[in-house]
Chains A and B, each alone.
Chain A
Amino acid sequence: MTGFEIVEPESLEEAFRLLDPEDPAVRPIGGGTALMLMMKAQIYKPERLVSLRRLDGRFSGIDIAADGSGFRIGAMTTFSMLEHSPAIRRHLPVIAQTMKTLANVRVRNVASVGGNLAHADPHLDLPPVWVALGARAVVVGPRGERTIPVEAIFEGYYETSLANDELIAELEVPVRAGWDALYVKVTTRAAHDWPALGLAVSAELEGRRIRDLRLVLSAAVDKPTRLAAAEAVLRGAEIGPATLRAAGEAAVAETEIESDSRGSAAYKQHLLRVHLGRAIEALAAKRV
């Protein structure tokens, strides 16, 4: 981990000049926790790191829309800012719930919302939650700006659709009345571990009937993945053992789960079936 420079641009224009669309040895750095791990392991050898910490304006801050319909979250917002934001706690309690078992206090104090997404490690806890909430990312680059659903960031294991000189500037997260969400982190080795599977659910329930929902699987697959077939089984359905079983089977059928050190494919598929059902039941129980 030697032989690189760190630059700290104070404007976006300067940042774009310092980034290089062609050179993977030039990278933006947010909180830097994930990048540091890759550098220490010599998996990544940078020549220039472009720090985003002096960029303010849209890269920082948590703002709620005047009508309460959603949040704008700057990409350099740290996890602990999210965790402790009273507005987020009130309108998106699933975020605080996820934070409780996400890495540790020190990482949450440093890691940034944008860096977490750009890292594209499928084991991260927050990305599936953003997807389940229907969040969109505002991506800026020298060629302009685009707003994409968060799931469109991920292309595979540590792979994103972002160009080398593009930056995630902010997230837009809707707050949908009548919807509720939760994140299930299933670990198989120790209580405090990377998830064997992460399951984020947001749903609009009417009693035990599911009007609409978004189901997202992470960790057991190579990127946070919408479980469209399982959603289709559940959308409009009454919650019951047969429906939940069918949804679990659909989820297993529509995903490719590989064996790894956290469990065999068959076991993780079984966990998916069980926890998908339990998550829906837990959401229903919360509404009662």
Chain B
Amino acid sequence: MSSPRTIRFTLNGEPVSATIMPHETLVDVLQHRFDLRGARESCGQGLCGCCTVHVDGKPVSGCLFLAVFADGARVDTVEGLARGDALDPVQEAFIEAGAFQCGFCTPGFVMMVKQLLKEHPEPTDEEVRHYLTGNLCRCSAYPEILDAVKLASARQAEAARRA
């Protein structure tokens, strides 16, 4: 009954395929088949956001997302953000604001903030708090994360003005 199946999807812009079992989650497949470590399982219940990846442009919890459902989708991970040595503005803002300590939750936060700034280019504190409330940072660099979001938003606005 349970048998492997080949799925094809776009991973950080590249077409890929993988032969997987039905029970494998997206985060299993990214870690074990593609050696991508940025999305990682922590709470296992979709509450902490450490496993955040984008599927068809929307953040999802990779630990609750069966990989078969990524068949035909566009999957983007934190590894796809930087262009060569140039980090994404959100990543740069996290570094400048000192918005992390142990770093385990950081890729998940970065991926959420990417989407947050797409939906709310200049978010209020209230919007940021609600948008990111499903991401847990036990080191609790939360004040710095708020700073990082504002910094990234300001940079983005400035870049838009100049463009």
**When chains A and B are docked, how far (Å) is the Cα of A105 from the Cα of B129?**
12
Q: How many residues of B contact A (CB 8 A)?
A: 30
**When chains A and B are docked, how far (Å) is the Cα of A77 from the Cα of B136?**
27
Are B2 and A4 neighbours in the complex by a CB distance under 8 Å? yes
**When chains A and B are docked, how far (Å) is the Cα of A109 from the Cα of B2?**
28
* Contact bitstring B92-112, A, C-beta under 8 A = 1, else 0: 000000000000000000001
B70-106 interface (Cβ within 8 A of A): none
What are the residues of chain A within 8 A of B66 when measuring CB–CB? 6, 32, 36
Are A106 and B49 neighbours in the complex by a CB distance under 8 Å? yes
**When chains A and B are docked, how far (Å) is the Cα of A40 from the Cα of B28?**
13
Q: How many residues of A contact B (CB 8 A)?
A: 28
* Contact bitstring B118-153, A, C-beta under 8 A = 1, else 0: 000000000000110111000000000000000000
What are the residues of chain B within 8 A of A51 when measuring CB–CB? 69
Number of A-B contacts (CB under 8 A): 79
Tell me how far the C-beta of B121 lies from the nearest C-beta in chain A, rounded to whole angstroms.
16
**When chains A and B are docked, how far (Å) is the Cα of A5 from the Cα of B5?**
10
**When chains A and B are docked, how far (Å) is the Cα of A47 from the Cα of B68?**
16
B1-57 interface (Cβ within 8 A of A): 1-3, 5, 21-23, 25, 44-47, 49, 52
Tell me how far the C-beta of B32 lies from the nearest C-beta in chain A, rounded to whole angstroms.
15
What are the residues of chain B within 8 A of A104 when measuring CB–CB? 46-47, 49, 133-135
B64 within 8 A of A: yes
Residue of B nearest to A192 (CB): B133
Given contacts A1-B23, A32-B69, A36-B64, contact A106 B2 (CB under 8 A): no
Tell me how far the C-beta of A84 lies from the nearest C-beta in chain B, rounded to whole angstroms.
9
What are the residues of chain B within 8 A of A80 when measuring CB–CB? 58
What are the residues of chain A within 8 A of B23 when measuring CB–CB? 1-4
Residue of A nearest to B46 (CB): A107
In-complex Cβ contact of B115 among A37, A105, A107 (8 A):
A105
What are the residues of chain A within 8 A of B3 when measuring CB–CB? 5
Residue of A nearest to B133 (CB): A192
A37-60 interface (Cβ within 8 A of B): 37, 40, 47-49, 51, 53
Residue positions of A touching B, CB distance < 8 A: 1-6, 32-33, 36-37, 40, 47-49, 51, 53, 80, 100-101, 103-107, 109-110, 191-192
- Pairs across A and B, CB under 8 Å, 24 listed: A1-B23, A3-B1, A3-B2, A3-B23, A4-B22, A5-B1, A6-B66, A32-B65, A33-B61, A36-B66, A40-B44, A53-B69, A100-B130, A104-B49, A104-B133, A105-B115, A106-B52, A106-B60, A106-B61, A107-B46, A110-B60, A110-B61, A110-B65, A192-B134
